Chains A and B, each alone.
Chain A
Amino acid sequence: MTVIIGLEIHCQLTTRTKLFCGCSTDYRNDPPNTHTCPICLGLPGTLPCLNRKAVEYALRVAKALNCTVLEEAEFARKNYFYPDLPKGFQITMYDRPLAVDGHLEIEADNGTEKRIRITRVHMEEDPGRLVHVGSGDRPRYSLVDYNRSGIPLIEIVTDPDLRSPKEARRFINTLRTTLEYLGVFDGDREGGLRVDANISMERGSRVEVKNISSYKGVEKALTFEITRQRNVIRRGLSVERETRHFLEARGVTTSARSKEEEHDYRYFPEPDLRPLRVREWCDAIVLPELPAARRVRFADSFGVSPSHARTLCGDLKLADFFEEVVVCGDPILAATWVADTLLGEVYYRDMEIARVPAGHFVELLRLLKKKEITDKGGVEVLRAILDQSARGEVPETPATIVARLNLGKAAGDAFGPVIREVVESCPAAVQDFRNGKPEALNYLVGQAMKRTRGRADPKELARMIREAIGGSGVTG
């Protein structure tokens, strides 16, 4: 059974102020109702005043998604009554959105490029935030915080072109990266991205799943919903056309009340705002380099492998970091260390890439390039730097760490006593090796590595052991 998925994605734009008033959007660590004014509280008599930057950001998105900007776009009122909606309507765009008919290329399940069509891109205001007081199933009343009220959102609607939850997740990841490259979105902000998904089985009814508020949630919600719909069909029933809510904590979708489905939003043009004629403005916007172009450049000018280029460019901050440390003089070494080693270490620490001191990292790469430390030693140095940075300390320089932990790749002579110790303490292995068992050498090297705590180059150790025990014709 073919699965058909379309997405509606809401993203908060990173303007300094709200969409229709001058309140700051930087509310996340502040107490409730401290970023509000008569306008975003919807006090009687107030009027909206459109933020130019929000329009510019939305146009960047429209252009990056290859959309056609409408000759005249217009804000409209979506009328519904809810306590988090201070005016009793949401200012959004309806039959004259900002832009239509675009597309975004993603990696399909089979690894090829796939074009996902974009139906429309429009702007709207975020409602406030509701907290339910009382036990989960029986809320006693609600608490409202209007700090979020009026934060600028763009809504991006796709055609039903996605065919699996994995593809949907990849679309969202690609979109997120694109938005970050455009400088209009910060994926690290909690609740900055919300998704509604339309899912159906071939020839089946469409189910809308609302309320997905995390990246991982998208794949989870879709997978659950597909299984649910398959089971319905398997039982010989037909899938009902309905709206369902995704309950993140339980990983399930539940049917919404019927009243919500019957909504008649009574859209009409917002009389307090003038229309937008911004096509020429959009034409004049010069976009920054986007992920696809950057991947090509990393491969072409630095010789970075395609898979490393994809990893590096898949995150704006990671790619920027790579460009900062590539001055070490060995791009491939830098790509390997950033994409393979550093990325894992920062994920493990739940740390932002931006907090890694690039200068220290360059110095580390130079030590590795000059083979003054081993890869293993390099990892130890990196971990020390990250741990210190994570604690908010000024990290020690790599050279200091190398000296403190005695990680320097010492000259061969310094290991003479270790080699002698190993040869003396493992006569059986020495004998095996002499008897023509080459794997015995690996054991001896391992023992030596243990005693040098990784400071020595294993190849160098093997050479020295072979020398010390008189070599073997077998491995020669």
Chain B
Amino acid sequence: MVSPDDVEKIANLADIRLSGDRLGEFTREFNAILEYFDILDTVAEEAGEKRGEFNIMREDEVTPSLPQGEVLALPRDSEEGFIRAPRVME
């Protein structure tokens, strides 16, 4: 079981805003889903072998970058070649 406090903590970590009235509802749904996930407790920890390929790499060869104009056409705000972003605290 998780509490509304736990859900709020996760919401903070995830930068997802949950308004107070939605918090309770989210917590209930959350708990129903987590309860369903509890079946995973029955799985043995080291089960099976991980398979698949490895060492997939490319050569160190330069390919063209996008023209600056095309890059700066994507964001809403740019300034002297830079892309504008919200301020980050020092």
Contacts of A34 in B (CB 8 A): 65, 68, 81
Contact B85 A72 (CB under 8 A): no
B87 x A274 contact (CB < 8 A)? no
Q: Say whether A55 faces chain B, with CB atoms less than 8 Å apart.
A: yes
- Write the nearest CB–CB distance from A136 to chain B, whole angstroms: 7
Cβ of A82 and Cβ of B60 under 8 Å apart? no
Query: B13 within 8 Å of A by Cβ?
Result: yes
Nearest B residue (CB) for A16: B60
Confirm or deny: A37 has a beta carbon within 8 angstroms of a beta carbon on chain B. Answer: yes
User: A190 within 8 Å of B by Cβ?
Assistant: no
Known: A22-B63, A53-B60. Is A274-B90 also a contact (CB below 8 A)?
no
How many angstroms between the C-alpha atoms of A264 and B58 in the bound complex?
A: 32
Interface residues of A in 306-330 (CB under 8 A from B): none
Is B47 located at the chain interface by the 8 A CB criterion?
Answer: no
Nearest chain A CB to B45 CB, angstrom units: 15
State in angstroms the CA–CA spacing of A58 and B14 once bound together. Answer: 33
* Chain B residue, CB-CB nearest to A81: B15
Known A-B contacts A52-B57, A52-B58; the reply to A23 vs B85 at CB < 8 A is no
Tell which of A127-135, A223-231, A284-292 binds the partner: A127-135
Contact B62 A142 (CB under 8 A): no
Complexed CA–CA distance, A266 and B15 (Å): 14
Interface flags for A241-261 (1: CB within 8 Å of B; 0: not) read 000000000000000010000
Segment 69-105 of A: residues with Cβ below 8 Å from B? 72, 81-83
Kindly name the residue among A21, A140, A274, A277 whose own CB sees the greatest number of chain B CB atoms within 10 A: A274
Q: Which of B29-88 contact A (CB under 8 A)?
A: 52-66, 68, 71-72, 74, 79-88
Which residue of B53, B57, B65, B85 contacts A36 across the interface (Cβ within 8 Å)?
B65
Check A144–B82 contact: CB distance below 8 A: yes
The CA of A146 and the CA of B72, in the complex, are separated in Å by 11
Of A52, A130, A136, the contact of B88 (CB 8 Å cutoff): A130
Q: Is there contact, CB below 8 Å, between B82 and A32? A: yes
Of residues 115 to 137 in A, which have CB atoms within 8 Å of B's CB atoms? Answer: 130-134, 136-137
> Which A residues are in CB contact (< 8 Å) with B54?
72, 274-277
Q: Is residue B89 contacting chain A, with contact meaning CB distance below 8 A? A: yes
Distance (whole angstroms) from the CB of A395 to the closest CB of chain B = 34
- Bound form: Cα–Cα A264–B13 in Å: 8
> Are B60 and A52 touching (Cβ within 8 A)?
yes
A367 within 8 A of B: no
Cβ-based interface call for A191 (8 A): no
A141 close to B84 (CB less than 8 A) = yes
In the assembled complex, the Cα of A31 lies from the Cα of B13 at a distance in Å of 35
In the complex, are the beta carbons of A41 and B84 less than 8 A apart?
no
Say whether A83 contacts B82, CB under 8 Å.
Answer: no
Interface size on A, residues (CB 8 A): 52
| Interface range on chain B (Cβ under 8 Å from partner) | 20 to 34
A residues near B13, Cβ cutoff 8 Å: 264, 266
Instruction: Name which residue of chain A comes closest to B53, CB basis.
Output: A274
Other-chain residue from A31, A82, A136 in contact with B81 (beta carbon distance below 8 A):
A31
Given contacts A34-B65, A36-B65, A275-B54, contact A15 B60 (CB under 8 A): yes
A417 at the interface (CB under 8 A from B): no
In the complex, chain A residues whose CB is within 8 Å of the CB of B59: 52-53
Q: Nearest Cβ distance between residue A321 and chain B, in whole angstroms?
A: 28
Instruction: Specify which of A15, A23, A136, A276 is in contact with B63 (CB 8 Å cutoff).
Output: A23
Please tell me if A17 contacts chain B, counting CB pairs below 8 Å.
Answer: yes
The complex places the Cα of A119 from the Cα of B19 at a distance, in Å, of 45
On whether the beta carbons of B86 and A142 are closer than 8 Å, the reply is yes
Pick from A72, A142, A274: contact of B84, CB below 8 A.
Answer: A142
Chain A nearest CB from B88 CB (Å) reads 5
A333 at the interface (CB under 8 A from B): no
Instruction: For the complex formed, measure the closest distance between the CB of B73 and the CB atoms of chain A, giving whole angstroms.
Output: 11
Tell me whether A33 and B60 are in contact (CB under 8 A). Answer: no
**In the complex, which residues of chain B have a beta carbon less than 8 angstroms from the beta carbon of A139?**
87-90
A51 and B85 form a contact (CB under 8 A): no
- A278 adjacent to chain B (CB < 8 Å): yes
Residues of A within 8 A of B86 (CB): 83, 141-142
Q: A24-B62, A55-B57, A277-B54 are in contact. Are A145 and B87 (CB under 8 A)?
A: no
Most chain A CB inside 10 Å of its own CB: which residue of B57, B63, B64, B88: B57
A49 nearest CB neighbor, chain B only: B58
B81 near A278: Cβ-Cβ < 8 Å: no
Option from B65, B68, B83 in Cβ contact (under 8 Å) with A144:
B83
Does chain B have a CB within 8 A of A273?
yes
Which residues from B are CB-within-8-Å of A232? Answer: none
8 Å CB contact of B52 from A16, A35, A143, A274:
A274
Complex Cα spacing A37 to B59, Å = 17
Nearest-neighbour CB distance to chain A for B62, whole angstroms, equals 5
The interface residues of chain A lying within 8 Å CB-to-CB of B64 are 22, 37
The interface of chain B, by Cβ under 8 A from chain A, is 13, 15, 52-66, 68, 71-72, 74, 79-90
Q: Which 6 A-B pairs have the closest CB atoms?
A: A22-B63, A143-B82, A53-B60, A83-B85, A52-B57, A32-B81
